[in-house]
Structure 1
Amino acid sequence: MMMSQSLYRYLVQYYDTVKIDVMAPKWSLPLLKHMPEINQIFEIPLNHGTLALDKRYRLGKSLRKETYQQAIVLPNSFKSAIIPFFANIPQRTAWRGEMRYGIINDLRKLDKKAFPLMVQRYAALAFENKKIRDASELPNPLLWPRIMVSNEDKELALKTFFLKNPYPLIGFCPGAEFSLAKCWPDYHYATLAKKLIHCGYQIALFGSIKNRATGKEIRFSLTEDIQKYCHNLMGTTSLEEVISLIAACHAVVSNDSGLMHIASALSRPLVALYGPTSPNFTPPLSHQARVIRPVRGYHKIRQGNKKKDYHQSLIAIKPDQVFRTLSSLLVS
């Protein structure tokens, strides 16, 4: 979802009278509200992976009154293309995906080597078919995702979670959506938190409810006298609140995750930690971001610490290295 904003930015830049409406899952709506290019947002009231053909038909039919000229479909699935088809939108644009001939009538054949980044693939769909044959033909510089948060929203979020005090805030994003294999170990985060607190910072831990136990591990690994400077907000904040809080951070340290891309789009100083996953497809798109990824050989090791199932490549990233990288961003 974060990568899709580059497409919207190109549409606004190259088509003076364009109005962009976005249909998306409920969880992503707070993120879309921070994209100034978007005119109107519609929720897809369906569970992920559900075909529900009758519901998609009714949803598509309800869009006919909007008289859209073009639909750009970003997911590659068959079901994602059905709604604009049922909406009778004349031009339906997408990369070739699963069984979509006829449903998508402006079908693009993707050369993955020509467009190595996801953001490039999305951006290319803003232009006529075959006008952009590879990423080098996209207007330069590439329009990266950039979301906006007002000072009022940042102040309110800090006050709501009792973080408005003299100590500058560093955000940690220790969770990941699917498994611990993408997570920097909690004991490394705890060591880094201790260093930063002793340097005069406070720490906020961001993530979902299923990662809250990791936040507890980090906080309770600290000595009792400094635990008050580490706030476990995992599972207690909405996405809207997390966006505002990340915008208020002096810097962010994150696993390869959605929150990492939000921090990047907010242009926060960011240290992004990669292990078995690669930054070659969806890197953080910001001059304020630094990626740390150990040597290539580690990525073939499937099992790391057996007790907690951390990947060896992420265990190998030491807190001192992250601290040095983060410190260079904070003084630059």
Structure 2
Amino acid sequence: MNWSGCKNILCIRPDNMGDLLMSGPAIRALKHTFNARITVLTSSMAAVITPFMPEIDEVLIFDVPWVKSSVEAGPNNFAQTVELLKARQFDAAVIFTVFSQNPLPSAMLAYLAGIPKVLAYCRENPYQLINCWVPEKEPYQFIKHQVQRDLDLVASVGAHTTDSQLQLKIDQTLWESITQMLNQELDTDTNKPWMILHPGVSEKKREYPPLQWALTGKELVKKGYQLLITGSASERRLTDELASAIGHGAVAAGGKFSLQEFICLIAHSPLLLSVNTGTIHIAAATQTPVVVLYAQTNPQHTPWQVPHIVLPFSIPDNLKSNNQVIVHLDNTVYNKSDPMPLPEEILNAVEALMGN
């Protein structure tokens, strides 16, 4: 099917911020190959990053009921979204998914909106719902990084890019005021070794225990590193308690930065130490080295094209998914128990990336 005339393209990526960031290069390929206007339909959680993604022209927000969300979407929201999409008269739609997700509910949105071309991976034959169908082979035959998976999807309709890195707009004019805040309010001297420690998680199963974070932080401070402990406003208690447990050399910065400031902060940080959450993909987009404590949930979501060290650990059985594709991963890829990384392992990884 020829996509050369597709100038008004809808990209559906209805999950989290990190997922949308990883779709950025594929969206860029669509935009540049077809000289198209790109509209993204995404969740309220992911929409916050879209002003900083240069590939995106417009954003529509719909917290779909088939993706985990704190927002409840009723039937009226579905019908209203269909009418909104119909009015936009899109030439084509691309549905980006993780291999454990079913694209058909999103495809139904596009079908009811009358979008003539719909591209997606799908495990079963979607017939009229997805008329540009790429049979889903992950994870049973192979596993690709999510960025590569999305690039390969759009390549099937002729969309390519020579730049496959994640990208974010960085307002460098903010760095002066951020530096002042670090030096004066947060007792962090950017002329001496420092790093961001980002402990917050969106899911309990990705959590690295606060006690272990505190022990790790103390080891890092002993080595002369200053720790800026970041998080959202809702994570302020976590950052405060962790800074207090570590003591001198660690500073709590929960809720201190807007997202725009946080992107600039990460861009200037010598290193990010974090769990596997959206923050590691911001670091990849700013080319900031990453040490990631990686809960074994999605093997394809490691930092992309940036210096990094992954320290994997198994998640408790009671927190594992009942999604049968994920169960397959647990029985094959993750069939060996990996303990939580020890503080000395984390310290060694940090020093390896910091060049010490």
**Which TM-score bucket, shorter chain as reference?**
0.7 to 0.9
Q: Which residue of 1 aligns with 2:286?
A: 266
Distance across 2 between alignment mates of 1:196 and 1:50:
42
Give the AA of the match of 2:168.
Answer: I
Summarize the alignment of residues 52-131 of structure 1 with structure 2, pairs less than 5 Å apart. 52-75=74-97, 76-96=102-122, 101-112=127-138, 113-128=141-156
Cα distance in 2 between the residues matched to 1:289 and 1:100: 38
Q: Distance in 2 between matches of 1:250 and 1:158?
A: 14
Number of the residue aligned with 1:182: 206
Per-residue CA deviations over 1:65-110 (Å, capped at 9, x if unaligned) read 4332111122434432343333322111112268954333322211
Q: Please list every run of 5 or more consecutive structure 2 residues that lacks an aligned counterpart in the other structure.
A: 1-19, 319-336
Distance across 2 between alignment mates of 1:157 and 1:98: 50
Distance 1:160 1:62 in 2: 43
Q: Offset at 1:256?
A: 1.7
After TM superposition, give the deviation of residue 24 of structure 1 in Å: 1.3
* Equivalent residue number for residue 173 of structure 1: 198
After superposition, residues 179-258 of structure 1 pair within 5 angstroms as 179=204, 181-208=205-232, 211-223=235-247, 226=248, 229-235=249-255, 237-258=257-278
Compare 87-96 and 162-171 and name the one that shifted more: 162-171
Q: Retained in 2: the 8 A contact 1:171–1:252?
A: yes
How far residue 13 of structure 1 moved from its aligned partner, in angstroms, is: 4.4
**What is the TM-score of this pair, normalised by structure 2?**
0.72
Aligned partners of 1:42 and 1:159: how far apart in 2?
36
Amino acid paired to 2:46:
S
- Give the AA of the match of 1:291: V
What's the CA shift for 1:212? 4.2
Shift of 1:115: 5.0
Measure how far apart 1:31 and its partner are.
1.4
Residue in 2 that maps onto 1:288: 307
Q: CA-to-partner distance for each residue in 1:208-264, whole Å, 9 max, x for gaps?
A: 4565444334222234xx1xx423233555444433332232211111222222222
Cα displacement (A) at 1:184? 2.7
Q: How many residues are aligned here? A: 306
Mapped partners of 1:324, 1:192: distance in 2: 11
Q: Is the 8 A contact 1:275 1:313 kept in 2?
A: no
**Alignment partner of 1:31 out of 38, 49, 56:** 49
- Kindly indicate whether the alpha-carbon contact (under 8 Å) linking 1:4 and 1:119 is maintained by their aligned counterparts in 2: yes
Secondary structure at 2:348 match in 1 = helix
CA distance in 2, matches of 1:110, 1:196: 44
CA contact (8 A) 2:22 2:166 kept: yes
Is residue 289–residue 307 contact of structure 2 (8 Å, CA) maintained in 1? yes
Aligned pair in 2 of structure 1 residues 234, 67: CA closer, same or farther (>3 Å)?
A: same
Provide the rounded CA distance (Å) in 2 between the counterparts of 1:218 and 1:151: 29
Query: Which secondary structure state, in structure 2, belongs to the residue aligned with residue 149 of structure 1?
Result: coil
Contact 1:274 1:314 in 2 (8 A): no
Cα 1:196–1:51 shift into 2, 3 Å: closer
User: How far is 1:283 from its partner?
Assistant: 1.3
- Aligned residues of 1:21 and 1:39 also touching (Cα < 8 A): yes
Match of 2:165 in 1: 144
- Is the alpha carbon distance of 1:222 and 1:115 closer, same or farther for their aligned partners in structure 2, counting shifts above 3 Å? closer
- Once the two structures are TM-superposed, the CA of residue 276 in structure 1 deviates from its matched residue by 3.7
Distance 1:300 1:74 in 2: 26
Structure 2 distance, partners of 1:111, 1:186, is 38
1:41 corresponds in structure 2 to 59
The 8 Å contact of residues 295 and 315 in structure 2, kept in 1 or not, is answered as no
Identity of aligned residues (%): 22
- C-alpha separation between the residues in 1 aligned to 2:145 and 2:256? 33
Q: Which residue does the alignment assign to 1:20?
A: 38
Structure 2 counterpart of 1:33, one-letter code = P
The one-character-per-residue Cα deviations of 1:8-46 (angstroms, maximum 9, x if unpaired) are 13224433x222121212222231222112122222266
Deviation at 1:275, TM superposition (A): 4.3
Q: CA RMSD in A?
A: 3.4
| Paired residue type of 2:270 | H
Is the 8 Å Cα contact of residues 273 and 314 (structure 1) preserved in structure 2? Answer: no
| Aligned twin of 1:2 | 21
Bigger drift between 267-276 and 49-58 goes to 49-58
Q: Secondary structure in 1 aligned to 2:284?
A: helix
Q: Distance in 2 between matches of 1:209 and 1:97?
A: 40
CA distance in 1, matches of 2:62, 2:175: 29
Is the 2:219–2:343 Cα contact (8 Å) retained in structure 1? no
